[in-house]
Chain A
Amino acid sequence: MNPWDILQTASAGDLILLSMLLPLAATLGNLVFRSMPNLRDGLTFIFTIAIFAVVTVIAMRFASGESFALDLIVFQPGLTIAFQVEPLGAVFALVASSLWILTHIYGIGYMRGNNETKHARFFACFAFAIFATMGIAFAANLLTLFIFYELLTVSTYPLVAHKENDAARRGGRTYLGILMGTSIVFLLTGIIWTYAATGTLDFVEGGFLAGKVSDNLLPFILALFAFGIGKAALMPFHRWLPAAMVAPTPVSALLHAVAVVKAGVFSMLKVGVYVFGIDTLSSTGASVWLTWVAAFSILAASIVALRQDNLKKMLAYSTVGQLSYITLAMAMANSTAALGGGLHIVTHAVGKITLFMCAGAIYVATHKTEISDMRGLGRAMPITFIAFGIGSLSIIGLPPLVGSWSKWMLLVGAAQTDQLILMGVLMLSSLLSVAYLLPVFARGFFTPEAQALHGGSWRERISEAPLFCWLPPAITAIGCFVLFFYTGEIVAFLTPIVGGANG
C-alpha cells in the first residue's frame, strides 16, 4: 500500500492528529540534526510535503461529506481541547501548508545565500509555528483556539529576534508586548466572559451568544475579541507587524503575510461566524462600530504605506490594510461579505507571499532594502521583478489575477447592505494600493539607474538571486493567475460557513 492510500483509509481523528504531529516531528528533527544542515533541511522538506498531503486528504474527504472531530484532552471539568474540521479551517490549513513547502525551499536559499546563523533554531521554531497554525485552523472551541494562538506568539518570538542585535531586541519587544498584551488583556477576558455567560465555548454554526448575553453588551464583548485578536492588526494595535519586519524575510513571507496574520483574521471570522453568528450581528447591529474602525484601519494603513521607503515596512503596512478588509467583511455581517473575507485569506496570502519573497530575493542579491535604491534593478533581476509586478496587481485586485475576486465579493457584500461609504472606502484603498505598490515595479524597469558609484550598470554587477530564492515567488506569481479560474470551487467549498445566514 502506498502512503496516499493509507491516508485515504486512516481514521478522521488520526488524520487531524497527524497534521499536528508532523510539524512537531519536524521541529524535533531540526533540533536533533542541528549540525547536519543538508539532512536537516531535506528532512524538513519531506515533512512539508507530508503535511500538505495530510491536509489535502482531510480537505478532500471533508468535501465529500465526511465529518472530522477529535476530542483530545479534558482540560478542566466541562472544557476540552478538541479539534474539528470546518470549511474555513480546512482552507486556512491548505493555504498555510502549501505555502510552507515553497517558503521552506525559499528559506533554505535565503538563509544560506545570506549567511544567516542559527539555522537549526530558525527552522525548528518555524516548524513549531506551523504546528500552532494547524491547531488554530482545526480548533473546535475558543479554548483550543486560544491555546494555539498563544503558542504561535511564543514560538515566533525567537524568529523575530533572530538577529539578536539591538534592532531585533526592540522589534521583538514590540511584537511580544502587543500580541501577548492584547491577547491576555482583551481576548482571554472575552473568552472567559463568554464561558461564564454561556457555559460553553464550542463553535456552533450560527453562533451561541445570542440570547445568553444582553444585546447591549454584545458590542462590548465583540470589542474584546476584535482588539484582543491582535494578530489581525486592527488599528491601533498594528504596530507589531512593521516591528516584526526585523525578522529574516522567510519569516515575514510565510508568518507575517500568511500564517500569523491569517491566524488573526481567521480567528476574527470564526468569532463572527461561529460565536456571535452573522444573523445576530446583523440583527443587533453589534458590529456596526467595527466596520468604521476597520474602514479607518484600511485607509490609514494604506496612507502610511505610501510614505514608506523601506520595502518590507511598506509591505507590512499594506498587510495591515488588507487584513482589515477581512475584519470589515466579518463586521458587515452578511453572507457574501463573509465569504469574500474567507476568500481574501487565500488571495491575499498568495499575493503577499510573492511580494515578500521578491523583497527577500532582492535583499539576497543586492542587500538593498530601500525602494529608492532600486531604480533600474528590474533589468538585472527580471524574473523577481515580474513576479513582484504580478503579485502587486493581484493585491490591487485586477483581473485576471485572483485578488480581484475577493475584492469583488466584498464590494457586492457592501452593496447588498447599501453601505455606499464602505464601497467608497474599498475603491479608494484599491487606488492607494496602486500608488504604493506599482512604483516599485515601475522603477525597477522604467527609470534609469542612478549614477553608479562603483562603475558599471546593475546588469554587470548583479544577477538574479540563487534559484531557491527566485523560483518560489515565480511559482506563487503563476499561482495568482491560475487560481483566478478556480475561485468558484473555493467559494462553493466555503459556502456552508454561512449556512443559515441571510442573503
Chain B
Amino acid sequence: MIEAITTFTAQHGPLLAIAVPLIASPLAILMVNRVAAFIVTWLSAVTSFGLAAQMVTITADGTVLSYAIGGWAPPIGIEYRVDAANALVVLIVSMMATVLLPYMRTSIEQEVAERQHTLFYACFLLCFTGLMGVAVTGDAFNVFVFLEISSLSTYALVAMGAAKDKRALSAAYDYLVLGTLGATFFVIGLGMIYMVTGTLNLADLGRRLAEVDAENRTVRTAYGFIVVGLGLKIAMYPMHRWLPGAYTFAPTTISAFLASTATKVAIYVLARFVFSVFQIDYPFERDTLQFVVLPLALLAMFTASFVAVFQQNVKRLLAYSSLGQIGYMLLGLTLLTATGLTATFTHLFAHALTKGALFLAVGAIIYRTGGPMMHNLAGQARLMPWTSAAIVVGGLSLIGIPGTVGFVSKWVLIQAAFEADLWPIAAAIVASSLIAVVYVWRLVEVLYLQPAREGAAKREAPLTMLIPIWVLVVAIVWTGFDADGLVSVARTAGESLLDGGFVADGARIIGVPGR
C-alpha cells in the first residue's frame, strides 16, 4: 500500500505538489467554519512537504526529473523540470508553510477580522501554490504566471494586516506597484528571448541561447529586463523600497512566510536564468554580475544592516536585516563558482529557518503585549522565557555563531570567497556580520536587561505558537552541528546549475508517457 503510494508520488510529485494546494484553496473558502478551513489548508501543506522531501531525496544524486503536463512532450508542451536546486527551494517553501500554519491559526485571531479567516487561508494557499509553482516549473512563461499568482495573493495578504494597523494598506499598495513593475519587466524580457529563440521551455532556451551570437542586442536587453524585474521581486538593493513596509505591516505569520520563502524563490529564479538559461560563459552576464550585482550585494550587506541598528519597530528591524541577508545570497551567486552557489543555497535554507523563527517569536510577543516596538519587548525574558530564548538563538544564527545554521552558511560563503581569491570580499562578509552583532544585541539587552512593565504577570505564548517557534529553533541548532546533508544537497544544486545538468538531455522522464 505504502509502496504503491510512494511509486505514484515519485511519478507525479512535481505536479501534485502544486495541484494539491491549488485545489485546496477554493475548498478552504467553501468550508463550513474556520477550523475546517485550517485543517484543509494544513493537510495540503503537509502533503506538499512530503512530496518535496521525496523530490529532494530523488534529485540529491544529480538526477533531473522531467514531467510533461498533460502528456504533451516538451518543448512544445509545458514541462515541470526538477533538479537538486529547485527541489531544495520547494522543500524550504513547503516546510515553512507546514510549520507556520498551526501558528497562523492562533495569531490571526488578533490580526485579521474573523469573517476574513477563510479568505485568508485561501489567499495563503494561492500564494503557497504560486511559490511552489515558480520553483517547480520548467517553462519560462509558467514562471511568470506563478510569480503573479503568488504576488497578487501576497498583496491581499499584506493588506489584511489593516485590521490591526491601517498603514498595511499603503504598504500593500507600494508592494503592488513595485511588484507589478517587476513582473512587467520580467515578462518583457521573456518576450524578447522568445522572439530570438522561439521557445519558452527553460532547458530548451538554454540550449538555443548558447547558439545565439553573444553580441545580439535583443538578448542583452532581454537579460537586462529579466534581471531588473527579478531584482524588484528579490528586493535587491536599491530596489527594496517595498520590503520593509510590507514585512512591518503584514500579519506576522505572513511576514515570516514571505521573509523565509518569497524572496528566496525569486533568488532561485534569478540563479536559474543566470546559470541555466543564459549560462555563465555569456560575457555580458559575467560583467553585469561582477560589476553591478556584486557591488550592490556588498552595499546591501552594510547599509541595510546599518539601518536595522536604529529601528524601534522590531519587525522593521528584522525586515532591514533580511535586506542585508539577501545581499549574502546574491554575493554567493555572483562569485560564479560551485562553492559560491553552495553558499547561496545553504543560506537560503539557513535564513528561512532563522528569519522564520525570529518573526514568529516576535509575533508571539505582539500577541501577548499588543505591539512590535522595543518597549513591548522590554523585560519579556522574565514574562515569556521560552519566546525570548528563541529570539536569542535566532539572533545568534543571524550573526553566524557556531552551533547555529547561520554559521554553516557563513562558513561556506567565506570559504567561497577565499577559493575565488577574493579576500577583500571575505573581509567584507565578516565585517558586516559585526553589524548584526549590534542589532541582535540590542534585542537581547532589551529582553533581558530591562525591567518589565509594572505589574505585568508571567504569561508565556500559547503552545500553538510556541511549538512552531521551537521546531524552528531546534532545526536551527540541529543543522548548526549536523550540516553534512544540507551542504551536500546545496552543493549538488550548485553543481547542477553550473555544469548545465538541468539543460542537458538525459533527464529522467516521469508521469504519463508523452503523446
Contacts and interface: CB of A to CB of B under 8 A. Distances in A.
B401 interface: yes
A195 B415 contact: yes
B381 to A, nearest CB: 10
Contact of B481 (A81, A180, A184): A81
A169 B449 CA distance: 7
Interface stretch (B36-44, B212-220, B483-491): B483-491
Given A185-B434, A196-B415, A76 B408 contact: yes
Nearest to B346: A76
Nearest to A72: B481
A75 B411 CA distance: 11
Interface residues of B, number: 33
A172 B449 CA distance: 11
B22 to A, nearest CB: 37
B408 A188 contact: no
Nearest to B488: A77
Contacts of A150: 401-403
A158 B400 CA distance: 19
A76 B411 CA distance: 10
A169 B423 CA distance: 35
A149 B403 CA distance: 11
Interface in A177-211: 177, 180-181, 184-185, 188-189, 192-193, 195-197
B481 A154 contact: no
A151 to B, nearest CB: 6
B487 A154 contact: no
Contacts of B415: 192, 195-196
B482 interface: yes
Given A76-B408, A76-B411, A192 B437 contact: no
Contacts of B471: none
B61 to A, nearest CB: 14
A70 B419 CA distance: 29
Chain A interface, DSSP helix/strand/loop, else mixed: helix
B114 interface: no
Contacts of B401: 150, 154, 180
Given A154-B396, A189-B427, A76 B412 contact: yes
A151 B400 contact: no
A199 to B, nearest CB: 11
Contacts of B310: none
Given A76-B408, A193-B418, A177 B482 contact: no
Given A147-B403, A169-B449, A184-B433, A192 B426 contact: yes
A479 B400 CA distance: 41
Interface string A155-169: 000100100100011
B449 A77 contact: no
B431 A77 contact: no
Interface string B382-404: 00000000000000100111110
Given A73-B481, A169-B445, A189-B426, A151 B402 contact: yes
Interface residues of A, number: 33
A74 interface: yes
B441 interface: yes
Interface in A22-81: 73-77, 81
A173 interface: yes
Contacts of A176: 437, 441
A274 interface: no
A172 B396 CA distance: 16
B69 to A, nearest CB: 36
Contact of B482 (A75, A149, A154, A196): A75
Interface in B409-429: 411-412, 414-415, 418-419, 423, 426-427
Contacts of A195: 415
Nearest to A181: B434
Contacts of A188: 411, 414, 430
Contacts of A147: 402-403, 407
7 contacts: A75-B408, A158-B448, A184-B430, A185-B427, A188-B411, A188-B430, A192-B418
Interface of B: 396, 399-403, 407-408, 411-412, 414-415, 418-419, 423, 426-427, 430-431, 433-434, 437, 441, 445, 448-449, 481-484, 487-488, 491
- The 8 A-B pairs at the shortest CB distance, nearest first, are namely A196-B418, A147-B402, A74-B484, A76-B487, A150-B402, A192-B414, A185-B430, A164-B449
Given A154-B396, A173-B441, A192-B418, 9 more contacts: A74-B484, A76-B483, A147-B403, A149-B402, A150-B403, A161-B449, A180-B399, A188-B414, A189-B427
